[in-house]
Amino acid sequence: MSKLRLHNTFSGFEFMAQPRVCILRAPGTNCDHETALAFELCGGQPTRVHLFELLQRPSLLRDYQALCVPGGFSYGDDIGAGVVFGSQLQGQLAETIGEFLQRDTLTLGICNGFQVLMKAGILPGGGTTWPPKANEPPPATLTWNENGKYTALWVKLRGQSSKNVFLRGIDEIELPIAHAEGRIAVRDQSTLDHWTAGGQVGLCYTDANGHVPASGELLPYPANPNGSIANIAGLGDPTGRVLGLMPHPERFLFATQHPRWTRLGLKGDGDGLKLFQNAMNYFRAA
């Protein structure tokens, strides 16, 4: 089952079990502990699962309601960010991933995890187009930043999709980014038009005043830190149950993680926690 509901027959009340989250890591992943903590803080039951373990026993994924591919440098990004990891999901684990996407599950890819979802072909179509057709060029990819450099800074973002589970109730947030290959590039304009019409554009970079150019004009660096088309920072699938984003929500779980928390008088939760809370609330709402 994807949404676990357990019944207490003695007292007569009903309660929801902790949603189980697979934090899928590979050689080079380095944000799995922070990501697991984020889900745990929101009432989930995360388990850090090594890719090799899943390759050995693919049926493991049936035990989970959510899948998250965290950030880092899987396989050292030696032949491109997320390429090797993505090829393993698309190859040896194609049937397992397909089965998971067809269930009422959630999938999240953060930074390198977003790159993995794109290279694997899980995004942009999700389960509606999985597995991707052989020898057919992908409609979009994540490639090198316009400045050609690894870039780490804080960015302002605006939620663009009301249908994506992870982004419910999110209007403006601020998160850190840290990547070299975060620029979304599309094969043609029709791809972008399709995303926009289907509510798949999840998050966009904004200017200092929280505005996203309606015309699609690119914001200058550092507002748009990588030159991503239409200022896109996060992309979902047609169902709203898959999200990939370049910023790191797991690095802003507490107000004190913001570099200007004292000057801004920030207290309590960081902006990033909301994405994980939305995911866990999805299973409790059923």
Angle at 188 between CA 214 and CA 229, to 5 degrees: 40
Query: Is residue 248 annotated as part of the catalytic site, yes or no?
Result: yes
Please give the structure tokens belonging to residue 207.
């200017």
Please give the structure tokens belonging to residue 174.
């601020």
Rg (CA), the chain: 18
Query: Is residue 42 annotated as part of the catalytic site, yes or no?
Result: no
Of the listed 111, 174, 181, 204, which one is catalytic? 111
State the CB neighbour count (10 A cutoff) for residue 128: 11
Alpha carbons 250 and 176: distance in angstroms, whole number: 9
Of the listed 31, 42, 248, 258, which one is catalytic? 248
Q: CA nearest 70: which of 118, 16, 122, 34?
A: 34
Of the listed 68, 204, 250, 258, which one is catalytic? 250
Active-site residues, by number, are: 111, 248, 250
